[in-house]
Amino acid sequence: MSNMQIIPQPHDDVVKRLRILCSRVFDPESLEFVNDQAITISRVTGLITDVSNISNLNEQDTDRVDVIDLRATNVTILPGFIDAHVHLFLHWYHETTWHDQVTRESTVERTIRAVRHAKDTLMAGFTTVRDLGTEGAEDADVDLRKCISNPMAIIPGPRLFITNRAIVSSGSYGPKGNLRPNSEGVDGKTGGQVADGEAECIRVVRNQIGAGVDWIKIYADYPFRSRLSSVSPKQARKDLTLFSEKELKAMIDTAHSLGVKVAAHTLESSTIRTLIPLGIDSIEHGLLMDEDTLKLLRDTNGRTTWVPTLAVCTPVGPMPRLFEQASRTFANALKIGNIKIACGGDTGTFPHGHNALEMLTMIRLGDDWKEVLRKGTLGGWECIRGMDWEGEKGISRLASFQKAASKSVDPEQGETDETAFREIGEWPLGDNDVPLGALKPGFAADIIAISGEFSSQHNVLETLGEFGPKVMFVMKGGKIYKMNGVELPNPH
């Protein structure tokens, strides 16, 4: 492959545009690949302003932008991948157990690790992640998000949607010490935030939203009786419901009233059947769902997204014993059809930077590879986006973004790329409140280039690879972080 380079053109400094020339681009809406595309990007907004065939460019357009030519043999351009379930403050359980990470690694150490994990994730082509709990690292995700977010980012990393501390009931979650079995946590370290009763559940949700979370996460079921492992291992492994229906409703209703979605960790069908009528937004894991529960999920018409985290059941994950059951559940979901699914691997329980393992596993288990690419791009945004992007309001807002991004700019009239967004009340733009997952006007310029074939299931499996695809180019929000397969020390 020839080297990629930025070709600066003489133009008026007021016009801050960048154009990427692409030979093959994946469209997650049509599930097709489009050839010979020119993607124009505003360096001011970080959004795409135009996508058109290269043959339609005129000379006037060409001399007013800088150009990156990514046209090369065997390179495919895609929207940046989205991992809807990560834990940046955890690292591979084969290195250190969850219990030892929470109780023996300081929050400072875990934060330093999270900085490295964030960079590894971005360099692997994942430009957005939803972190579903710091698991004992307290509020560190709030400041990590701040350090990553544009325009004042001080470290490289993906757009970061956070949940802070997952909500659990008394006695249910770890870490659990041996000296004081009735105490929550060990040496003041708890894996989640305890709430009991409707009033306390409401208070905790409000507190977390006030702290700045993007999502609320609830542990809806879990092996509550884990201390029985030495005398009754079957009971110790059994997932039990942690909250009453009234408590669950209180948390979901409170979060929704404040414009925040709710994710639920759950494996059991009975728990999921309780959550769906309450309006839960995403089901995390759900690996033991029966067919009736899957049909109930289908009948939400996309209101509830399933994030199956199949990667945790592979040999590098923490639950390989569940692989056969997870495979059957996923196969049943594909057979039933019309279930909204997003890619999220529970990354952190296996190495960061290997996030594509979830997509690889989905394809191996029979999902159509183009559908999986959609689940890992636009489908990810449809899951993790804020409530203001849902329904008729969201459709209208997206149309306004696309119109504003596409609007011509007249520098002589004092206009810039931000002018149209000011006019619709959307300026300044926020990292987590812009359209993601597609290469269209109005969407974030989160763009990756991957070396390898995307033409058949066999080729895609080969391209994604056991350790992730060969990512040659990474752009997030109009800034280039990786070029020619090498991380740039100064993103620009």
Tens-place pLDDT, residues 143-175: 999 999 967 799 999 999 999 999 999 999 988
- With a cut of 90, say whether residue 275 has pLDDT above it: yes
- Say whether pLDDT at 313 is over 60: yes
Helix spans in 356-455 (H) = 357-364, 369-375, 378-384, 391-406, 419-423
> What are the C-alpha distances in Å from 453 to residues 27, 274, 276, 456?
16, 43, 39, 8
Q: Identify the weakest region by mean pLDDT among 67-81, 82-96, 432-446.
A: 67-81
Smallest Cα–Cα separation from 432: which of 134, 123, 128?
A: 128
Least confident of 32-36, 317-321, 451-455: 451-455
User: Long-range contacts of range 266-271, CB-CB < 8 Å, 24 or more positions apart?
Assistant: 266/220, 266/221, 266/239, 267/221, 267/239, 268/221, 268/239, 268/241, 269/293, 270/241, 271/220, 271/221, 271/239, 271/241
pLDDT of 215-272, one tens digit each? 999 999 998 877 777 788 778 788 899 999 999 999 999 999 999 999 999 999 999 9
pLDDT at 492: 85
Phi, psi of 438 (to 5 degrees): -145, 155
Tokens 């509550």, located at residue: 224
Higher pLDDT, 347 or 465: 347
User: Which tokens hold the place of 277?
Assistant: 């009528």
Mean pLDDT over all residues of the chain? 93
Query: Considering the chain, what percentage of its residues have pLDDT values greater than 90?
Result: 82
Specify which residues 66 forms β-bridges with: 18
CB atoms inside a 10 Å sphere around CB 457: 15
What pLDDT score was predicted for residue 61? Answer: 64
pLDDT score, position 63: 61
> What is the band of 14 on the pLDDT scale with cuts at 50, 70, 90?
very low
Q: What is the pLDDT of residue 417?
A: 92
Quick check: 352 and 117 in contact, CB under 8 A? yes
The alpha carbon of 93 is separated from its chain's Cα centroid by a whole number of angstroms, namely 21
- Count how many Cα atoms sit within 13 Å of the Cα of residue 373 in the half-sphere of its side chain: 28
Coil, helix or strand at residue 132: coil
343, 358, 363: which is closest to 128 by C-alpha? 343
Evaluate if pTM is beyond 0.85.
yes
**How high is the pLDDT of residue 7?**
64
pLDDT of residue 9: 58
Instruction: Report whether pLDDT(1) > 50.
Output: no
Say yes or no to pLDDT of 6 above 70: no
